[in-house]
Every structure is written in C-alpha cells, then in structure tokens.
Amino acid sequence: MGSEIKSGVLHGKYELGRLLGHGTFAKVYHARNLQTNKSVAMKVVGKEKVIRVGMMEQVKREISVMKMVHHPNIVELHEVMASKTKIYFAMEYVRGGELFAKIARGRLREEAARNYFQQLISAIDFCHSRGVYHRDLKPENLLLDEEGNLKVTDFGLSAVTDHLRQDGLLHTTCGTPAYVAPEVIGKKGYDGAKTDIWSCGVILYVLLAGFLPFQDDNIVSMYRKIYRGDFKCPPWFSPESRKLITKMLDPNPATRISIAKIMDSSWFKKSLPRSLRTKEDEDDANVGKGKETETLNAFHIISLSEGFDLSPLFEEKKRVGKEQLRFATTRPASSVISKIEEVAKTKNFSVKKSDSCVRLQGQESGRKGKLGIAADIFAMTPSFVVVEVKKCSGDTLEYNQFCSNELRPALKDIEWTSTGGNSMPALSL
C-alpha cells in the first residue's frame, strides 16, 4: 500500500489489520489507533482509479459532507490522510454489520423495524437540516453497532444545497434502482429531501415485509412499477404502517409526506426512544412566577465585551449550530418584553412572561417539533439590562433563521450603543 505504511503502521499512527470489505474504488480495513488503542475502520481509496473515472469530486464531496454531519446515527469520520497514490478515511468502526444481513434472514417484527426506522429518520432529518441529501439510502448502507444502534454510512453519492440548479432542484441520476424515486428515473429535476423520503419508505417496507415493494426481473418493468407507485402491502402490515408507507411511496413528490409529518405520525411516535423525543419546554415552570429581575456579576459584565470573553475558559466548546444570542439595552425590561411580544404576534407565537423572562412557543410544528425560545432579562443597573435569548426546543437552523430575520431586526433600535457609536459586539448568534 505504499511507503506511507511502515511495518503495517499507517502514518505512524494506525496499525492496519484484516480486510473488512471492498467495493469498486475502495477497500476497508480494520485498524487500531496506536495513541488511543481504539478500533477504526480505515477506508482506502486509490487516487489513480478515482481520477481515471472522473470521481475525484465525489470523493471530495464525501469528505466535506461527513465533516458536516455529526449525529449518533451517522458513521463518524475521524480524520482524512493522503499520500501520492491513496486517500485514507479513518472512520468509526461499527461492529454489528449491515442491517441488510438481518433482513436476509427474514422480515423483522414491527417493534424492531420501527426502532431502526426511527433512528434512520432522525439521521436523515439531521442531514436535511444541514442541506445534505444522501441519495443512496438502502439497507446495505445502514450499519449496526454492538448495541443494535443504526448508523448511516456511504455518503459518496450525497448532494449538498450547493449542487442545486437555479430551479432549486437536483438533476444527477443516482441511487440503487430498487430504492430510487420515480422523479429521479424520469430525469427531471428533483428535491433531494423528497427522494430520501421515498428511499426510507422502501427501506421500511423491506424491514416489515422481508422483500422489496417493486420487484421485476426486467428493469424497465420495475421502473414502470416505481413510476406508477404500483405496490401491495402484505396482509401482516398493521393499518398504521400501511398508511405511512403509502404516503412515503407516493409517486408524486409534491404530495409525498414530509419528514416532519412522518415524525408526527402515530405509528412513528409509538415507543419512541427518549433520545429521539422532542425536547419539551423545561423553563415553563419558571415563567410567570414573578421572580425578581436577576443582577449580573462582574464575570457576566466582562464577558459582554468581545475582547474579554472569558466563557471559553469555563464552557465546553460550542457546537457549530449556536443556540444563544445576547445583547444589552438602556431601555427598561418592560420595553424589551413589549418588543419581543410584537415579534411573537406577527409570527404566531404564544407568549408567557414574567418581569425577567419571556417564553415564546411556536404554534406550528417545524423540522424538530415546535420552536420554543426563552429570553432572560438581567439588570446590571436600574437603567441598563442585558438580554439573553436561547432556544428551548425545536430545530437550531429554524431558531437561527428566526433570530436573524425577525428578532434581531426588531430589537436593533433598542440595542445599547456606546458613546463612540459602536453597538455592543454581543448582539450576535
């Protein structure tokens, strides 16, 4: 495998072991990180072969996508190394094998199928919230760890929002025939999120049935069935699962069910693991109790200045999706509350308030349920207050968009400005 491997050790860091599997362009080996003693899966891609068939962009895309998506149900990319001839992906080692192997032994019981499906939808919903569409979902790309947790892998065919044409649609034909959506076969533009939902529908059918919904030895005949949405559910499917699959395998992408609606369906919600439940409002009990406006201490005050932000010394590194904004104002707390209430009315939020806190609750369900926002008001002096806004529930991306497009502009005219004319640097996400 080249000079970069000496005595079976790659880059002086990974000890390579047995071959776990191989595809057209890559081999995957078991490897051990000599520094941590942890097992990893080392995917080795030959540069020359990839360049020869014009797939270098696809490899680069897989790297950039996997760096974007950190989720418990997605295989983690630890690091990427390269030599003159090879690219090495050090990835999370998932010991349990493919979900496909489980199905090959026969259909799953409804409870087990639902458990895997819930984890799959959680992972794909997360990808979509980051503008990533997998486009090759099938049981072979779903791995299981030792505890039976599902892990989505193989983002080689994934697309990101950068690949959308001016019509806002994707246009590359991809995917595995039996799992591919009809609009992709039709070679018209398609919505990446909708095609992933179709593939998830095929996967759920296969988990419950033990065979594919669209089967035919003749691929043209199979495509015709897919195009028409021509399938039948076996008699052992429960009415609720039948209803959900029919909505997911709707050949018309415009009327196909959304992920938010899938997650809201009664079949999906049954026996939902605690880790996948929508975070309920933990602050409700504190809102409306009329507690006195809190006073900030010296550390709070210092941290308001961007140049003296001491929070990194005390807090763990924040994740990419920031969930808090802070600003100062010379207006009284009542003015701040009134301003936030105005925004809430225009955007259909319900409001709960006390003298030092405003709680907004969205009425419509978004990607991760209803958006919940809390604004805490701290008094530094009777005429100088600091407001901290944070997400309590819902999707981070939707929260950030609400803050940027609605809340921040509405609060701009009450934001504190120093005598030099510079506004507080803390009014940021």
Higher pLDDT, 121 or 368: 121
User: What's the mean per-residue pLDDT of the chain?
Assistant: 77
In a domain, 428, yes or no: no
In a domain, 421, yes or no: no
Do 158 and 272 belong together in one domain? Answer: yes
Rounded to whole angstroms, what are the CA distances from 276 to 71, 120, 132, 272, 408? 12, 11, 20, 7, 30
Place of tokens 């295989």: 75
Higher pLDDT, 416 or 418: 416
pLDDT at 59 over 70: yes
Higher pLDDT, 57 or 400: 400
Beta strand pairing call for 86-92 and 77-82: antiparallel
The active-site residue, picked from 136, 196, 250, 376, is 136
Domain boundary residue, one of 49, 77, 92: 92
Amino acid, res. 5: I
In a domain, 379, yes or no: yes
The domain that holds 26 is classified in CATH as: 3.30.200.20
| pLDDT above 90 as % of the chain | 23
Residues 6 or more apart whose Cβ sits within 8 Å of residue 218: none
Do 295 and 206 belong together in one domain? Answer: no
Do 163 and 253 belong together in one domain? Answer: yes
Kindly report the pTM of this predicted structure: 0.60
Phi, psi for residue 274 in degrees, rounded to 5: -55, -40
Do 84 and 116 belong together in one domain? Answer: no
The domain that holds 187 is classified in CATH as: 1.10.510.10
CB of 189 closer than 8 Å to CB of 126? no
* Position 412 confidence tier, pLDDT thresholds 50, 70, 90: confident
Whole-angstrom Cα distance, residue 57 to residue 162? 13
CA atoms within 13 A on the CB side of 40: 24
pLDDT score at 305: 42
Rounded to whole angstroms, what are the CA distances from 304 to 309, 327, 332, 337, 377? 7, 8, 18, 21, 14
In a domain, 132, yes or no: yes
Six-digit token string for 406: 């609605």
Domain boundary residue, one of 92, 113, 148: 92
pLDDT score at 279: 45
pLDDT at 178 over 50: yes
Whole-angstrom Cα distance, residue 233 to residue 385? 61
Whole-angstrom Cα distance, residue 53 to residue 43? 19
Mean pLDDT score, 222-237: 92
Catalytic residue list contains 136: yes
In a domain, 110, yes or no: yes
Q: Is 111 left (phi over 0), alpha (psi -120 to 50) or beta?
A: alpha
In a domain, 424, yes or no: no
Q: 26-40, 70-84, 126-140: lowest mean pLDDT where?
A: 126-140
Do 111 and 207 belong together in one domain? Answer: yes
Higher pLDDT, 1 or 221: 221
Do 162 and 267 belong together in one domain? Answer: yes
* Position 428 confidence tier, pLDDT thresholds 50, 70, 90: very low
In a domain, 28, yes or no: yes
Do 388 and 298 belong together in one domain? Answer: yes
Q: 17-31, 180-194, 307-321: lowest mean pLDDT where?
A: 307-321
Q: Is 47 annotated as a binding residue?
A: yes
Of 114, 117, 111, 195, give the one whose Cα is nearest residue 152. 117
- The DSSP call for residue 97 is -
Domain containing 30: what range? 5-92
| pLDDT above 70 as % of the chain | 74
Q: 145-159, 236-250, 358-372, 383-397: lowest mean pLDDT where?
A: 145-159
Do 186 and 312 belong together in one domain? Answer: no
In a domain, 48, yes or no: yes
Mean pLDDT score, 255-260: 94
pLDDT at 284 over 50: no
Mean pLDDT score, 251-261: 94
Six-digit token string for 154: 């193989």
Residues 6 or more apart whose Cβ sits within 8 Å of residue 197: 124, 248, 256, 257, 258, 259, 262
Q: 58-67, 189-198, 312-321, 328-337: lowest mean pLDDT where?
A: 312-321
Do 244 and 117 belong together in one domain? Answer: yes
Q: Domain total for the chain?
A: 3
* Position 24 confidence tier, pLDDT thresholds 50, 70, 90: low
Place of tokens 């939808």: 121
Mean pLDDT score, 143-151: 89
